Structure 1
Amino acid sequence: MSLSINKADLVGLVISVLLLGDVSLVLLTLLQLYSSSVLDFFLVLFILPLGILLPFPAGINALFSHGPRRSAGFMRGYALWNITSVINVVVAFVCGFVHFKTQSSSNKKHWNIQSWNFTLDESGWWMLPSGLLLCKIFQARLINYHVANLEVQDRTLYSNDPDAFWRS
């Protein structure tokens, strides 16, 4: 039994993996914000109401819709929610930075050997929001290419022969 996957299916697979990574990073970021401050959690969640959570259902809807025209329309909606949620990610950065600065200024320590221990609680606040931002930027670029391929409806785009595109 051989497993063969064409390039159009590979794009769908990559988008679904990015969707899973996106929803995982969103939930971890919200959990991190909730552990630092409930106000930060609600700010990120409701600056654009549920804008950080809605790209996942929109992406699933776009991936599993039938027909290239219908799928392209749903993909545009997914792209819109994905880019809109970047505002919520920026709010998460701001909230994390403010919380880090207020926590570090209230916990001034003397310079000693123990102060060089860096933990995720102190200096790694930026990792989850930056990973989420990178994921969203990569998704936006991939969605643009996928929508363009859905609208053209030319299967020679996925051909290994570049001359096949110009012959049709």
Structure 2
Amino acid sequence: MTALLGKTLLFAGCTAFGLLRGSRLRQRTACLGEFRRTLAGLARELAFSLRPVSDLMAGAEAGTQGPTAAFFRTCRRRFAEGGQESWAESWTAALEQVALPLEEADLRLLQEAGDVLGRYDGESQRQALEGLLRGLEGQAAEAAETARRLCRVYLALGLAAGLFCLILL
């Protein structure tokens, strides 16, 4: 009885590992989409008004959820508490502090947004954000394609590893 339970748990663990790996790919796609929508909203705001960046970040935090909302919350908190810290420094620190399900290339693109926000006039910020949005679109499309392709592969590998372990035992 114990052997059967152990084999079942081993098989379930291998399958769950495959599912979790595929889920991570979907999380990256969702996070990139969330950042893209939020930064597009910031670009629209900058086109029509010159609200302070702290107000823009508060709106961005309210309009997002999950790790993206945690990122904007951390960014605002660090800027408010930092005193001498600029928005770019707060943005960079928040990117390092918050565990975002993104790859290095995604983080480099987002770093560019932090370098622009709060430094230049509204039109320059808007133009820079629109360029960044084009880059994020490409990253999001690539992430969606990767997730579509590899989610089934990871599930199949998890199932196969579970079956392999069952056969060995």
TM-score (norm: length of structure 2): 0.35
Q: Which structure carries more helix by proportion? A: 2
Higher RCO, 1 vs 2 (CA within 8 Å, ≥6 residues apart): 2
